[in-house]
Every structure is written in structure tokens, then in C-alpha cells.
């Protein structure tokens, strides 16, 4: 391989899914979260793969992502977890998309829209237990509104959910108690909602026996969880590039913009065709490293939009075209995230559209997704 690409290992994805599926109680459904282009891994590839593994639901952030998934999965339930504007309800109805709702006027508007197509729309109700982002805040309002929604002909309340802030165990407990109290009160009011869910990847790992019917898995599927996991999670994405140029610089010579790196002694500099426009954070200019031939080398000078430079002085036999790993199975994404002052999910989701995704299965590249030149063949993904 020459140039920059993200390798997407479907074997690792499948292994992660199976291990999590075996870890969770059998009664618990799994919603695979593939928002933000499946955390950068390619939305359509991951959607098709998860469907083949037996995921119960697909969850996305917005209606455009949902419609993109529907184009490759005809039957899979798809949940939009974020807000959907009324002008997009027609897209939801025509593509059988489950929407998250938390206002009576929006529920009524969706019901009206669905009536034009004689389509009963499933909805999930969002309840805010302390995250303070989206959702009903008041229990009495939820109950009052749902009683009215039950009279609407074209809506079916399939789910109700909340989101844990995961500050600490005590705050998690308080949020779940608030959620449990609502569910109990709904039952007392004769309102039955089949699916309740509260846990994302972290919540699913630390509260596998929480009495809910579904979990929403994102980061854990892609190989990461910031809490202990009783099995190995394998990174699915490896971001790689190659050496495009080698040059010696003399003492006193500088590298890149503003001359922030100046050589103290003669140094061999490797140029790499990857920069911040590809998703490599510019603040890795100080402290960032890469992996070449199983050895670590420092990034030097400011990272450019399209390229960066690495000090490979002392390396034996480095050549133009040699593979370089920025993160993945060999180079820790966790370490890169710490150096960049961010989290792993941001780094994954920031891998740019101009970076091709090379889909790997059974050790072989089975497809390449290239957003600029055409998405290509998804093969057996």
C-alpha cells in the first residue's frame, strides 16, 4: 500500500460483537450504534456487517444517516437517537425509520404525516434523567403526553430511553432510579412500552444486569471501552500511511511552518502523506509518534494540512513506501488520544472522507471504500 488509508478489520468487529453478545443476558437486545460514519469505519460497511452478525437494531444520530442505512438494509429496525425536524418526517415515514420524540406537538405532527401514507410509525420516547441534553424532564408531563399519544392512530410507542452521564456509580444509580420510577408509574397507569434502554457501551459493561431490554453499543463494537471489560476488545480500525520522502537535514535546519523544530544534529527526516485534513490532530505536532517497522519515531515540526514529518534518525533500512501506523492494533489509539488531549471516539470519527477505507476479512482486503472516486464494491461485507 502506498499513501494513506484506514484498514477496517471485520474479523475484529465480529469478535467484539460475539464476545459482547455472550457477555450480556440473552434477553437484552443490542442496538449497534453507527452514527458519525460508524465512528469513521464506514457506515454502510458496518451496517451490513452487524446485520449479518445478528444485531437487533441499528442506531444513528440523524435522519440522513438513517436513510443511508435503509438503502443497504431493507428490514433492519433503525432508530434515530437525536432530534428530527418536522420537515424530515416524510423521510422517516417513507423509509420506516423509528424516531426519538420528546414533545407532544412533534408526536402529533408525526402522526399526521404518517396518516398520509397509512403507515404506523414506531417511536422511542426520550426521558432526561440528568444528562440535560434531550428529552422530557418532568415525569408527570411524560405520562400525560403518552396518554394522549396512545389515542393517536398512526403512532406506536415501541421504546423509552435515557442516557447515563457516567460521572460515577452514585450518579448512575440516581439516574437509573429516576428512570425506573417512571417505568413503574407508566405500568401503574396501564401504559406498556416494550423496550426500555439506558446503557451505552460503558453502561452495558458495568451494568450488564440492569433491568432493561436493550443496550446501545458504539465504542465497544469498534474495540474500545474506558472501563474494565472481562474479555479482549480488538481495535477494528488501523490508520496507516507510508513514507513518501526521505531527506537529511543539517544542524540548525528547521522543519515545517514557523520553524518550531530545529535539528541539534544531523537528522534523517521522513515525510508522510497524512495531515490534519486527514484526521491527524495538529496538536500532535509536539509529542506525537508513529510506528514504522515496529519502532516508534517522533513527529517533528508542525503537522501540515496534507503531510507531516517524522525524525527517523538511527533507523535501519527505512525506505520510501514503508508502511507507517498512526494507530490501530499495533499502535495504541488510547495513547494517541492522550497525546492529542481528546478521546478515542473523536479521533476515529475525524478520519476524513478523503481517506479510503480498506475492508479486511480473513486477512485479505475484500473491498475498498473510496468516497472521492466512488464507494466501490462492498464485496461480502
Residues 213 and 154 in one domain: yes
Residues 142 and 33 in one domain: yes
CATH for 169? 3.20.20.10
Q: What is the mean pLDDT of residues 210-236?
A: 95
Residues 14 and 63 in one domain: yes
Residues 289 and 200 in one domain: no
- For 262, the domain range is 243-350
Q: What is the mean pLDDT of residues 327-344?
A: 94
Q: Give how far Cα 339 sits from Cα of 41, 226, 280, 342, Å.
A: 22, 16, 12, 8
Q: pLDDT tens for residues 178-215?
A: 999 999 999 999 999 999 999 999 999 999 999 999 99
- pLDDT category of residue 376 using cuts at 50, 70 and 90: low
Residues 249 and 207 in one domain: no
- Position 2 pLDDT exceeds 90: no
Q: Is residue 128 part of a domain?
A: yes
- Position 377 pLDDT exceeds 60: no
Residues 126 and 273 in one domain: no
Burial class (CB in 10 A: 0-12, 13-18, 19+), 176: buried
35 in helix, strand or coil? helix
CATH for 317? 2.40.37.10
Q: pLDDT tens for residues 70-101?
A: 999 999 999 999 999 999 999 999 999 999 99
**What is the pLDDT, as a whole number, of residue 1?**
66
With CA atoms as reference, report the closest residue to 39 among 342, 354, 343, 349.
Answer: 349
What is the rounded CA–CA span in Å between residue 59 and residue 155? 19
pTM of this structure? 0.95
57 beta partners: 31
177, 187, 247, 257: the active-site residue: 257
Q: pLDDT tens for residues 125-156?
A: 999 999 999 999 999 999 999 999 999 999 99
133 labeled binding residue: yes
257 a catalytic residue:
yes
Burial class (CB in 10 A: 0-12, 13-18, 19+), 165: middle
Q: Is residue 364 part of a domain?
A: no
Q: Is residue 358 part of a domain?
A: no
Residues 170 and 260 in one domain: no
Task: State percent of the chain over pLDDT 90.
Answer: 95
14, 35, 126, 240: the active-site residue: 35
- pLDDT category of residue 297 using cuts at 50, 70 and 90: very high
Number of domains in the chain: 2
**What is the pLDDT, as a whole number, of residue 375?**
67
**What is the pLDDT, as a whole number, of residue 380?**
41
Amino acid at each position: 500500500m502506498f499513501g494513506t488509508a484506514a484498514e477496517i478489520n471485520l474479523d475484529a468487529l465480529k469478535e467484539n460483537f460475539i464476545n459482547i453478545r455472550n457477555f450480556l443476558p440473552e434477553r437484552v437486545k443490542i442496538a449497534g450504534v453507527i452514527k458519525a460514519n460508524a465512528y469513521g469505519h464506514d457506515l454502510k460497511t458496518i451496517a451490513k456487517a452487524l446485520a449479518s452478525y445478528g444485531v437487533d437494531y441499528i442506531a444513528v444520530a440523524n435522519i440522513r444517516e438513517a436513510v443511508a442505512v435503509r438503502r443497504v438494509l431493507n428490514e433492519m429496525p433503525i432508530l434515530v437517537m437525536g432530534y428530527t425536524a418536522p420537515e424530515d418526517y416524510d423521510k422517516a415515514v417513507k423509509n420506516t425509520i423509528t424516531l426519538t420524540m420528546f414533545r407532544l406537538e412533534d408526536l402529533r405532527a408525526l402522526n399526521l404525516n404518517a396518516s398520509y401514507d397509512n403507515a404506523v410509525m414506531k417511536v422511542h420516547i426520550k426521558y432526561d434523567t440528568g444528562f440535560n441534553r434531550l428529552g422530557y424532564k418532568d415525569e408527570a408531563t411524560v405520562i400525560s403526553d403518552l396518554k394522549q399519544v396512545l389515542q393517536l392512530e398512526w403512532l406506536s410507542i415501541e421504546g423509552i430511553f435515557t442516557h447515563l452521564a457516567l460521572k460515577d456509580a452514585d450518579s448512575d444509580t440516581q439516574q437509573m432510579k429516576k428512570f425506573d420510577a417512571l417505568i413503574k408509574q407508566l405500568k401503574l397507569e396501564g401504559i406498556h412500552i416494550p423496550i426500555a434502554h439506558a446503557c451505552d457501551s460503558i453502561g452495558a459493561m458495568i451494568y450488564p444486569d440492569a433491568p432493561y431490554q436493550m443496550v446501545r453499543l458504539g465504542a465497544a463494537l469498534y474495540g474500545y471501552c474506558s472501563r474494565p471489560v472481562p474479555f479482549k476488545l480488538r481495535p477494528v480500525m488501523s490508520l496507516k500511511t507510508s513514507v513518501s520522502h526521505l531527506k537529511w537535514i543539517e544542524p540548525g535546519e528547521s522543519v515545517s511552518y514557523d520553524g518550531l523544530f530545529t535539528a541539534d544534529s544531523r537528522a534523517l527526516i521522513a515525510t508522510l502523506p497524512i495531515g490534519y485534513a486527514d484526521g491527524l490532530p495538529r496538536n500532535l505536532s509536539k509529542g506525537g509518534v508513529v510506528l514504522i517497522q515496529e519502532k516508534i519515531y517522533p513527529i517533528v515540526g508542525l503537522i501540515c494540512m496534507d503531510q507531516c514529518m517524522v525524525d527517523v534518525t538511527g533507523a535501519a533500512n527505512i525506505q520510501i513506501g514503508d508502511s507507517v501506523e498512526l494507530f490501530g492494533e499495533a499502535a495504541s489509539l488510547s495513547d494517541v488520544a492522550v497525546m492529542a488531549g481528546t478521546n478515542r471516539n473523536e479521533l476515529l470519527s475525524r478520519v476524513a472522507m478523503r481517506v479510503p477505507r480498506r475492508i479486511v476479512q480473513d486477512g485479505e482486503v475484500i473491498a475498498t471504500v473510496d468516497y472521492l472516486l466512488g464507494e466501490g464494491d462492498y464485496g461480502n461485507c
